[in-house]
Amino acid sequence: MKKVVYLFLLFTPIFAQSQQSDFLHLNKIIARLEANQIALGTWCSALHPSNAVGMIDCNGYPTFEESQNKAMLDFILIDMEHQPFDISMLRNYLLALNSKREVAAKGNLQPNIATLVRIPADGNQPVHAMIKQVLDIGVHGVVVPHVQNAQEAKKVISACRYVQTKSSKYSYPQGTRGASPWLASYLWGLSLPDYVARADVWPLNPDGDIMAILMIEDIAGVENIKEILKVPGIGAIIFGPYDFSFYAGCPGETTNKTVVQSWQIIKKACDEANVPLIGFANENNIDEKLKENYKMILAGHDVRNNGTFPQVLKAVQKTY
């Protein structure tokens, strides 16, 4: 018996090292990005449980290996900026996305579909409470519209993080998120301590599974993009051409020269900072987006224009 215990203690560091090397992100977007693969998503507005079941079914319950080597629906961006900010409805939707069949087929706790929520508050408004609400019910990331400067970006990152200990390697920006992770940990399939350890912003914390995504939709945001991107913890950027066109004096003209040039400024800055810029794709421009090396792509919508998604999916599949 003593020999068995001795051998266990002797090889424990090896086991621990092996487990660390096999670390799996539960946020599938992050897993895709770290593997230099494309994460493909769609907009979501209809938060009925039946729609959640349909989202799961569309991926066909692949094995883990299949889920890593085929193009599929990797994330949904739930719009609660221009749709009702209804936390109870969102909670029920997320519970319906929690598929036992998917877990059994895949053999691990990584959902095939990561969930992002766009909140209604702009970057210059109070965002803390809304971010806390959506993270506490288990989403994998938040999208904040109209971020105009680095101070607003830092405020978003802080709201996504728990208070960091003095010994933390990733103490800045300091977190301000209140701690009540019981429902989020349940949906993620983790104990409370394990959820807390993973519920940090990536890539600031390499083991984090929360994405803080900022929308640049104003002239000030374009002018300040380089300073914004210096804030640690930004997971991705979205440029909003439609909103921006209003501030640029050409309402609705998303192909206007000023809008296109501003989009190019954002893309160049994101590429230089190694921060993904989310691209909007359809069957007509997907090849262009792939050539421009977009690693996060939004295509279609759950209740309108979703006929574009299969064509985009087919094009992305060629990259695997």
pLDDT (tens digit per residue) in 223-254: 999 999 999 999 999 999 999 999 999 999 99
* CA-based nearest residue to 279, from 255, 258, 299, 262: 299
Read off the tokens for 228.
């914004």
Question: What's the pLDDT band for 306 if we cut at 50, 70, 90?
Answer: low
pLDDT (tens digit per residue) in 13-59: 333 333 334 799 999 999 999 999 999 999 999 999 999 999 999 99
pLDDT of amino acid 305: 66
pLDDT (tens digit per residue) in 248-287: 999 999 999 999 999 999 999 999 999 999 999 999 999 9
Question: What's the pLDDT band for 319 if we cut at 50, 70, 90?
Answer: confident
pLDDT of amino acid 302: 87
CB of 221 closer than 8 Å to CB of 148? yes
DSSP, collapsed to helix, strand or coil, labels residue 72 as: coil
pLDDT (tens digit per residue) in 169-211: 999 999 999 999 999 999 999 999 999 999 999 999 999 999 9
pLDDT of amino acid 16: 33
pLDDT of amino acid 2: 43
Average pLDDT over residues 74-86: 96
pLDDT (tens digit per residue) in 93-143: 999 999 999 999 999 999 999 999 999 999 999 999 999 999 999 999 999
Regarding pTM above 0.85, the answer is yes
Alpha-carbon span 121 to 117, nearest angstrom: 12
DSSP string across 73-137: --EEEEE-SSS---HHHHHHHHHHH--HHHHHHHSSS--SSEEEEE-SS-TTS--HHHHHHHHHT
Question: What's the pLDDT band for 75 if we cut at 50, 70, 90?
Answer: very high
pLDDT of amino acid 203: 98
Q: How many CB atoms lie within 10 A of CB 17?
A: 10
Query: Of 302 and 115, which is predicted with more confidence?
Result: 115
Alpha-carbon span 293 to 155, nearest angstrom: 29
Beta bridge partners of residue 44, listed in sequence order: 78
- Computed over every residue of the chain, the mean pLDDT equals 91
- The yes-or-no verdict on residue 304 having pLDDT over 80 is no
Burial class (CB in 10 A: 0-12, 13-18, 19+), 147: buried
Peptide bond before 203: cis, by omega within 30 degrees of 0? yes
